[in-house]
Amino acid sequence: MKIFLVLFALLFFFSGSCAAQGLPTNAPPSTTPAETANTVGPPVRNLPSSPVDAEQQDEFSVSESIMFTPLEILSIRNALKGGETVDNVPAAQKNYNIPPIRRIILSGIVYRNPEDWIVWINNQKMTPDDVLPEVVSVAVQEDKIDLEWYDIGLNDVIKIRMRPHQIYDIVTGVLLPG
């Protein structure tokens, strides 16, 4: 199964990059600058001939894949590097308990300077040295915060500006006054 996944991923990466560059998928790419100078169209990118060459070149952008989830893309990249894949992760770690009610509640801000502040989010105290695990980044000002919050239910990062006593309902996307 893993070999099939790796072979399919390689085929997907290579054929997708050729099509995106306007090349036929069976045509070999140019290898010399002189050959690329005489062609019409966008410059041709040399494709790696093996997974070892793929690590040395720029990684292909598959972040907007319609076939794979971000977790599957990460698993494919790890498999190509010889690392752990999703299949190797115990089943207990795969099951996430996603609560049906997910809210970000900003109770208060104590601001002294950019390196010295306290914020209460979801009844938990957060300081510059002790940030909640869901917080990707936070910029605190005297009367508001700019927050990047990772939500497990959406599997995405939410960017939001909040003031004290506001509640953001993640499920509905509604910002409620406090």
Query: pLDDT of 122-158, one tens digit each?
Result: 999 999 999 999 999 999 999 999 999 999 888 889 9
What's the mean pLDDT when you consider all of the chain? 74
**With bands split at pLDDT 50, 70 and 90, how would you rate the model's confidence at 98?**
confident
**With bands split at pLDDT 50, 70 and 90, how would you rate the model's confidence at 73?**
confident
**With bands split at pLDDT 50, 70 and 90, how would you rate the model's confidence at 1?**
low
pLDDT for position 84: 65
Strand, helix or coil at 129? coil
pLDDT over 90 (residue 40): no
70-80 and 2-20 helices cross at what angle (nearest 10)? 100
CA distance 149 to 135: 5
Nearest in space to 48 (alpha carbons), one of 95, 80, 75, 73? 80
